[in-house]
Amino acid sequence: MIVTIIGAGRVAEGIAVRVLAGGHKLRLSDSEPGKAASLAATLSALAGPDAGGTPLEVTVGAVAEALAGADIVVLALPYPQGRAVARDQGAALSGMIVVDTCNPVDFSTFDSLLTSPGMSAAEEIAEANPAARVVKAFNTTFQAALVAGSVGGLPIDVFMAGDDPDAKDKVASLVRECGMRPVDTGPLRRARELEAFQLLHMTLQGPLGLDWSSAIKLLP
C-alpha cells in the first residue's frame, strides 16, 4: 500500500513509523522546505540498519507528486491547514481516501475547540472537497505512543469515523497491518465527539503527569 502523509511534524512522525512497521511504502510532503527530508532522515535513524527485514521505502516530494497513485492520504496538519489542502488539491484528491488527524484545539486557552458548534474539522474537510472520501482517524493518538507501537503492553486503539464504508475498511486494514486496533465509531459526524474527547485527553496530561505518552483504550 502507498501511504502519503502531508505534513512532517510529530503526528506525521508517529504515523510514519507505524506505516513503515507495517511494511508499506511511504511518501512525505510538507510546505516548509527541508522538513519532509528531515523527517525521512529521522525515520531512517529510527529504523536502524535492519528494519525488521522490510526495506525502508520513503520518498519525499511536492504535494502533487506525493498524491499521485496513493492508496491513502493522511493529512497530518494543524487546524485549519488540512481544510486548505483539501480545497486546493481538489481534483487530485477526487475519489481518494483522505484521513484527517487534526484536533482543532484553541491553544490560546487550551479549553475549547475552534470549530463551530455541531461541526468537526473532518466535516469541514469533507465540505471543502466533497469528492474526497474523508475518514477521521489518529486524532486520539500521541506521537510517543505511535512510535512505541503500544501503551502498557497493549496495542493502540485507533478511533475512526467516516461515511464511506469502503474507505473506512481500507483505513482499518492499514491500522491492523501496522499493529494497532481500529475502532469504528460510526459516521463522519462522530468526529465531533472524537475531537472533543481528545481535547479532554490533552488537558489531562499535566494534571496526571502523563507526559504525552498515554493512550485512550477500550477494555472489555
Encode pLDDT of 170-192 as tens digits. 999 999 999 999 999 999 999 99
Supply 219's cell numbers.
477494555
Indicate the pTM of the whole model. Answer: 0.95
* pLDDT, tens digit, 9 for 90 and up, residues 114-159: 999 999 999 999 999 999 999 999 999 999 999 999 999 999 999 9
Domain ranges of the chain: 2-203
Q: Find out whether 169 and 175 touch, Cβ atoms under 8 Å.
A: no
Outline where 22-156 has alpha helix (H).
35-47, 63-67, 81-88, 121-128, 143-148
* pLDDT, tens digit, 9 for 90 and up, residues 4-28: 999 999 999 999 999 999 999 999 9
Q: Find out whether 6 and 81 touch, Cβ atoms under 8 Å.
A: no
Q: What radius of gyration do the chain's Cα atoms show? A: 16
* pLDDT, tens digit, 9 for 90 and up, residues 34-52: 999 999 999 988 765 444 5
| pLDDT of 194 strictly over 90 | yes
102 closest CA partner among 132, 145, 135: 135
Q: Residue 50: what pLDDT?
A: 45
Q: Nearest 5 degrees, angle CA 98-CA 8-CA 218?
A: 60
Outline where the chain has alpha helix (H).
10-21, 35-47, 63-67, 81-88, 121-128, 143-148, 165-177, 191-203
- Tell me which of 2.60.40.10, 3.40.50.2000, 3.90.180.10, 3.40.50.720 is the CATH number of domain 2-203: 3.40.50.720
In order of 40, 139, 140, the CA distances from 158 in angstroms are 24, 8, 7
Angle between helices 121-128 and 191-203 (to 10 degrees): 140
